[in-house]
Amino acid sequence: MAVPDSLPVTFIGHPFAPIGMGEQLRSHLAAASAAHVEWGVLDIFRYAQRGDAAHHDLIGDREIARPRGGIRIFHVNGDEVDRVLDAFAARGGDFAGGYNIIVPAWELPLYPKQWAARLTKFDEVWALSAFVQESLATAGVMSHLVGQSVEVKPGLLLPRRFFAIRESAFVLLHFFDLTSYAARKNPFGVLDLFGRLRRAAPFLDIQLVLKVKDGEQDGADWAEALGSDPLVRVISTPLDSLGVRSLIAAADCFVSLHRAEGFGRGLGEAMAMGRLALGTAWSGNLDFMTESNALLVRQTQVQVPADAYPHWQGQTWAEPDIDHAAALLAPVLRDPARGRMRALRGQAEVLRRHGNRAVGLRILDRLDAIAAALPGRGRTAPRRRRVAAPTA
């Protein structure tokens, strides 16, 4: 059974935004293409700048100006559902006149109940990771695990010199976002780890590269505070897709001592590019990181401190064991070839399970199942298959 052409597939969200929600949507576009699914994309708010050449390469002329029927896949978060649906209606969209899927992101083990209620407006929910799926389930939301692609299109890469990174060094790379709640990404844990490594081997040729998401004052402050240390390089200027993929390729090891990740895209992309990944052994990144293909850092579950994250009440997250992280890295620093062997395994496994085609086929499977369930194969409105209501 195949998706009929009479049932167009539209991805809706923030296709040009340099944020996680944009990345997950674009990853689904690339995945759908790899499975030969025809799609259109609707930029629901049109806020984002459109300066990134890679986005245009991906989307081409497949952006549509107005909502249409068929299957709609919304890459939006629970908290923006109402605004998105208002905008959808304002753009002339008939929400009830199609089959609606939502792909929400979330980073903690319990999905917020007030958002779950909004998800019930949709016919179906797709989960970006097993972790998100379980989190949704705690709020009574049934979802299909589709995941997201971490495949990075090969192309030009800017060299280390472009970023003024030490060419000789073993480079640890960490991404974080100061505009979000910094505690979750845990950059302080990474600094702590780096400090330990240096104390253990003061003349080891290593460098820490911190890519700070936002070029705002906080980022500049960070850069200034660390600026005196030649072995820590803070990059706070915004980077486009070329810049980001080049930076990942420039690293030897991508480090994330996160307390929680919905999926852990940075880790996944680094692995897809053949780079070693070191990450907390908890949450979304466990979809693709294993003991044998990456470095997984032991953790203990702790209560999320008050106001450390939205909807923190009653949630737990990980406290990674920094000593363990240092111990995992020590043999790799002694013999980087060992890290490269592990990374090679990681690359193969990630691309096979979380590459464009693998994810695209999971999307295709869902679309086929939806199409198969339609009476009259798409000529009439799809049968509603409501998402379960949240448990009280």
**Which residues of the shown chain bind other proteins in the complex (CB under 8 A)?**
2, 5, 34-38, 151, 154-162, 167-168, 242-243, 249, 273-274, 336-337, 340, 347-348, 351-352, 355, 357-358, 360-361, 364
Q: How far is the CB of 163 from other proteins (least distance, A)?
A: 9
Q: Could you give the CA distance from residue 240 to residue 244 in angstroms, rounded to a whole number? A: 6
- Residue pair 45/109 in contact (Cβ under 8 Å)? The answer is no
- Residue pair 6/335 in contact (Cβ under 8 Å)? The answer is no
**Residue 31: Cβ within 10 Å count:** 26
Q: Could you give the CA distance from residue 218 to residue 212 in angstroms, rounded to a whole number? A: 9
Of 266 and 360, the one with the shorter C-beta distance to other proteins is: 360
Of 45 and 162, the one with the shorter C-beta distance to other proteins is: 162
Closest CA to 21 of 262, 357, 280: 262
Q: Could you give the CA distance from residue 373 to residue 255 in angstroms, rounded to a whole number? A: 44
Structure tokens at 156: 């030009």
Of 97 and 243, the one with the shorter C-beta distance to other proteins is: 243
Could you tell me how far CA 200 lies from the centroid of its own chain?
A: 33
Q: How far is the CB of 355 from other proteins (least distance, A)?
A: 7
Structure tokens at 118: 């909004």
Q: How far is the CB of 273 from other proteins (least distance, A)?
A: 7
- Residue pair 315/139 in contact (Cβ under 8 Å)? The answer is no
Q: Could you give the CA distance from residue 64 to residue 62 in angstroms, rounded to a whole number? A: 6
Residues 6+ apart with CB under 8 A from 232: 191, 194, 207, 208, 209, 210, 226
CA distances (Å), origin 361, targets 36, 332, 364: 9, 36, 5
- Residue pair 278/297 in contact (Cβ under 8 Å)? The answer is yes
Q: Which residue has the tokens 């994330």?
A: 256
Of 195 and 243, the one with the shorter C-beta distance to other proteins is: 243
Q: How far is the CB of 367 from other proteins (least distance, A)?
A: 10
Of 197 and 351, the one with the shorter C-beta distance to other proteins is: 351
Q: How far is the CB of 239 from other proteins (least distance, A)?
A: 10
Q: How far is the CB of 169 from other proteins (least distance, A)?
A: 11
Of 281 and 364, the one with the shorter C-beta distance to other proteins is: 364
Of 5 and 291, the one with the shorter C-beta distance to other proteins is: 5
Q: How far is the CB of 113 from other proteins (least distance, A)?
A: 37
For every residue of 341-383, which 3-state class applies, written as one string? HHHHHHHHHHHHHHCHHHHHHHHHHHHHHHHHCCHHHHCCCCC
Structure tokens at 302: 């702790």
Q: How far is the CB of 348 from other proteins (least distance, A)?
A: 6
* β-pairing verdict for 316-320 and 299-303: antiparallel
Q: How far is the CB of 337 from other proteins (least distance, A)?
A: 6
Structure tokens at 86: 């208002």
The strand pairing partners of 63, in sequence order, are 41
Of 64 and 157, the one with the shorter C-beta distance to other proteins is: 157
Of 189 and 360, the one with the shorter C-beta distance to other proteins is: 360
Of 198 and 353, the one with the shorter C-beta distance to other proteins is: 353
The strand pairing partners of 11, in sequence order, are 41, 73
Q: How far is the CB of 361 from other proteins (least distance, A)?
A: 6
Could you tell me how far CA 117 lies from the centroid of its own chain?
A: 24
